[in-house]
Structure 1
């Protein structure tokens, strides 16, 4: 099923059976909730990080295929629900030690199950740290290509004016000819679109001007909302079950099978999954 393939695309080879069970439940829940996300394009989900990262079975070893298939069968039909509704099972690579509330990251109301939680466990004892340095000229050019971050002909400084409990930059002022205030995740989206996803890896950063360069330094990788994969791997190593892990990251949720009652929320039991390069959608069952 697609759950096997999605799970394989997301897990580290060294943490197999337990991670595959967890990721299968997440992938299934996400697929159910987001069915029809690309309906106007003739398919449901795409195969990159906009929807769910997908890798074809042919790129994996027979052993890893077996692990993923067993995990998807062991959790067959299992999804995460809040008040009897499937949740938006958001996840990311590394929270840096603390997740964030969805509303503070993107604006709008925060779903009751997507509030910030502390995540002290870590595989190696240190979360992902990173640094990205960029010249003022290149940074200015990137900012000015988006109306949200347009500053004019000069950029004096970048100031974080609000942080959340996790330390992520919630609001940032870009001080130039204009001084727009943007969300941290908006700035990250603009800059990673120009410089790549491994540049500004998260909004849990500080920024300074040093030796004629703007220097961003931070921890974590991804938006920081929902399940932290790095933290989840550490919890698996500490002996926690996938049920315990899910209930840690998603407040007050339960696990239910995608039974006939829940399926009345949807039209049918299959989804169309578009792989890359763009071709005819492949249809999979949940």
Structure 2
């Protein structure tokens, strides 16, 4: 169902956009990968101090986790570029994962939420990698899933000291937290920005998760580049469709090649006809490299125009949505429990 969002006051728009535009740092998009993690020792239990620069963030008291889990803190990471396996502590992983996945200019509470999500996701994937020589894969040089302090400093230059301090200030207090479902770490998927409503995991991957269901993400339509347009020559689109649907009838007027037949609650295309053949929106997104599966299609006879909303698969935590919630006063645990419906906040001992 397509949702219409009301206009926001100019002040509200500026309040949200100005801090984000201060650093147009690309957010690496985490599609579900083979990652895993080990746990955080008692020495890394959260410590809470007032942040004088963000004393209005609403984080005066720590949340009370309802579970305590036992886990090992070390992580064995397979470097996708070099093939080498290296080991990091839990604290080092949470710092590096946050540095790789979210700009240091985002609100501290959003950064904390991202840190917990990345840690939880790694822990869930680790459980699937039992028996392997590594717990997760990452590409530190290209900022995928994890990066090192050295790579971070090389990228940010004269801003590195301030930005690394922001990363550590957000990551360290939450290094022992994770999200669970029935006592196990959840698959804490996340993405850059949704359509305004997050997507049900069952529409993206085989099988769903009870905590990965659609929720409102009202700040996303205010995010930079929320709606974009991408153009493709007709022949390029035909070639892409035929690569997965060889029997598609792509003759005649190309403006009639596509018919969107179904959308999810968040507006993502879940069903369409391409030359008379059934195709999912996520598959067409993959074939053409679209930013998300929430799109409209038009054609002028020589090229297709895809008008796309959001960025990423749309499942789980929205990073721009989390930043918006934090700027409205939400704490990291409130953000997490909003995006991961019914999950439990736990702490590692």
Deviating more after overlay: 40-49 vs 216-225:
40-49
From 185, 190, 208, the equivalent of 2:282 is 185
Query: Post-superposition shift, 1:121?
Result: 2.8
Residue aligned with 2:179, SS:
strand
Q: Is the 8 A contact 1:8 1:64 kept in 2?
A: no
Q: Is the 8 A contact 1:106 1:185 kept in 2?
A: no
Residue 169 (structure 2) pairs with residue 73 (structure 1): no
Query: Post-superposition shift, 1:53?
Result: 2.7
**Hey, what does 1:174 align to over in structure 2?**
274
Residue 305 (structure 2) pairs with residue 205 (structure 1): no
Structure 2 Cα separation of the partners of residues 140 and 52 of structure 1? 31
**Hey, what does 2:305 align to over in structure 1?**
215
Change (3 A) 1:114 1:139: same
Relative to its length, the structure with more strand (as a share) is 1
Residue 111 (structure 2) pairs with residue 13 (structure 1): no
Structure 1 Cα separation of the partners of residues 119 and 185 of structure 2? 10
Q: Is the 8 A contact 2:104 2:166 kept in 1?
A: no
Q: Is the 8 A contact 1:105 1:184 kept in 2?
A: no
**Hey, what does 1:93 align to over in structure 2?**
192
Residue aligned with 2:305, SS:
strand
Residue aligned with 1:222, SS:
coil
Residue aligned with 2:126, SS:
coil
Q: Is the 8 A contact 1:80 1:253 kept in 2?
A: yes
Query: Post-superposition shift, 1:258?
Result: 2.5
From 117, 121, 140, the equivalent of 2:238 is 140
Query: Post-superposition shift, 1:123?
Result: 8.0
Structure 2 Cα separation of the partners of residues 123 and 158 of structure 1? 26
Residue 176 (structure 2) pairs with residue 84 (structure 1): no
Give the superposed CA RMSD: 2.5
Query: Post-superposition shift, 1:257?
Result: 1.2
**Hey, what does 1:246 align to over in structure 2?**
336
Question: Structure 2: where are the runs of 5+ without partners?
Answer: 1-91, 154-159
From 124, 142, 162, the equivalent of 1:33 is 124
